[in-house]
Amino acid sequence: MSEMSPKEFKHILVGVDDSEDAQLAFRYAINRAKTDHAKLTIVSILEQDNMNVYEAMSKDFIHGQRADLEEHVQKYAKLAKQFGVTDVTTVVDEGDPGEMIVKDIIPAIKPDLLVIGSISKRGVRKYFGSQAAYMAKHSPISVLVIR
């Protein structure tokens, strides 16, 4: 009987925001990417649901928020590289995180593992909890929800 070894992943997608769970997810993902010599893509989605109507209509506000998010994601990318993950890319987009990741980002970049935290920023615990459940249910690839 051959020895049972865990599945190795070639391309790991990790979703980040500024929650503690996302940082745990990120830590898991960089460790796994380093061990498996996998490509790592770090994704963050600007959620327009969390903005008021004036913010959501303001191009300057959106642009500013997106620039902040892109800078935040670049910090994660830098950490991953310092940790020793050689192939690191980032994706920043706007919309509903669960849907964007499942319907747009996964088909576009074709990772084989999605790593996410179970809760989101701004104390809206229920919200990302349901996002994580949505992604786990609808994702075409393996999903690891970190708590």
Residue 109 confidence (pLDDT)? 97
Domain boundaries, position 23:
11-146
For residue 5, is it within any domain? no
CATH number of the domain at 113, please.
3.40.50.620
Number of domains composing the chain: 1
> What are the pLDDT digits (tens) for 9-47?
999 999 998 777 888 999 999 999 999 999 999 999 998
pTM for this model (two decimals) = 0.88
Residue 131 confidence (pLDDT)? 83
In the structure encoding, which two tokens stand for residue 41, read together?
Answer: 């893509």
Residue identified by tokens 């970049």 is: 109
- Among candidate residues 91, 56, 97, the one with its CA nearest the CA of residue 70: 91
Whether the CB-CB separation of 28 and 13 falls below 8 Å is answered with no
- Among candidate residues 42, 44, 47, 46, the one with its CA nearest the CA of residue 14: 42
For residue 2, is it within any domain? no
For residue 63, is it within any domain? yes
